[in-house]
């Protein structure tokens, strides 16, 4: 039995410690929560995209540039909201198609030059927007 008692104390201490840690982590998370719907609506994506300068809320805008065998962005994440349009500003050197792996799937056909397209999402999830021609995922959209 002494062996057993020796282990109880550290274990109890550990439980208390993890509990405290947990509380600390959780509150730290609350302070810097990025998922505030009011701000993310007009937020600018960090990678590859630029925000719309207009004042009216119109969801996220992504700039996509095709050039030869490369495309930017290159698989980065952006945020969008269910029911809000996601605007794709596409600059391309030749026409092509983007596959939007939402449920249900969608397709965006674009011409050479610059063009603007909008897609909306019916339900939350991670949606890959993919160029099958280049065999690359252009952006992953976190739809909330």
Partner 1 sequence: MRLFAHGIGGAKDLPIPAEYAIAGACAALAVSFTVLALAWRTPRFNTGDRRPRPAPGWVADMVDGPWFAPLLRVLGFAFFLYVAAAAVFGKDLLINPFFGVFFVLLWVGIVPMSLFFGPFYKAISPVRTINLLLAKLSGSDPEVGLRDYPRWLGHWPAAVGLFAFVWFELVYPFSTELGPARLWCAAYVGVMLIGGAVFGNRFFENADPFEVYSTLVSRLSVWGRDGDGNLVVRSPLANLDLTPVRPGLLAVCSVLLGSTAFDSFKDSSTWLTTIQSTDIDTDWLNLAALLGFVLAVGILFGAATMMTGIHDDHHRLSLPGQFAHSLVPIIVGYVVAHYLSYLVEVGQQTVIYLSDPFSTGANLLGTGNRAVNYWLSNHPTFLALTKVGGVITGHVVAVIAAHDRAVKLLPKRHQLTGQLSLLVVMVGFTIGGLYLLFGA
CB of 137 to partner 1, least distance (A): 5
Cβ distance to partner 1 smaller for residue 1 or 55: 1
Inter-CA distances, 54 with 9, 57, 58, Å: 61, 8, 9
Single out the residue of 102, 137, 139, 142 nearest to residue 126, CA to CA.
142
Element (H, E) at 5: helix 2-31
CB of 124 to partner 1, least distance (A): 5
Single out the residue of 69, 78, 70 nearest to residue 49, CA to CA.
78
Cβ distance to partner 1 smaller for residue 57 or 124: 124
CB of 41 to partner 1, least distance (A): 17
Single out the residue of 88, 83, 93, 92 nearest to residue 129, CA to CA.
88
CB of 16 to partner 1, least distance (A): 9
- List of residues contacting partner 1 (CB under 8 A): 3-4, 7-8, 10-11, 14-15, 18-19, 21-22, 25-26, 29, 35, 74-77, 101-105, 121, 123-128, 130, 132, 135-137, 140, 142-144
The owner of tokens 């701000």 is 39
């Amino acid at each position: 039995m002494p062996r057993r008692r020796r282990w109880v104390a550290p274990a109890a201490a550990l439980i208390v410690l993890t509990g405290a840690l947990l509380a600390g982590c959780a509150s730290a998370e609350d302070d810097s929560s990025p998922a505030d719907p009011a701000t993310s609506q007009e937020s600018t994506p960090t990678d590859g995209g630029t925000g719309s300068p207009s004042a009216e809320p119109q969801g996220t805008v992504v700039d996509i540039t095709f050039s030869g065998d490369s495309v930017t962005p290159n698989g980065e994440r952006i945020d969008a909201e269910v029911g809000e349009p996601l605007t794709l500003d596409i600059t391309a050197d030749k026409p092509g198609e983007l596959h939007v792996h939402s449920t249900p799937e969608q397709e965006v056909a674009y011409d050479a030059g610059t063009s603007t397209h909008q897609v909306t999402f019916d339900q939350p999830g991670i949606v890959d927007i993919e160029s099958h021609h280049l065999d690359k995922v252009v952006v992953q959209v976190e739809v909330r």
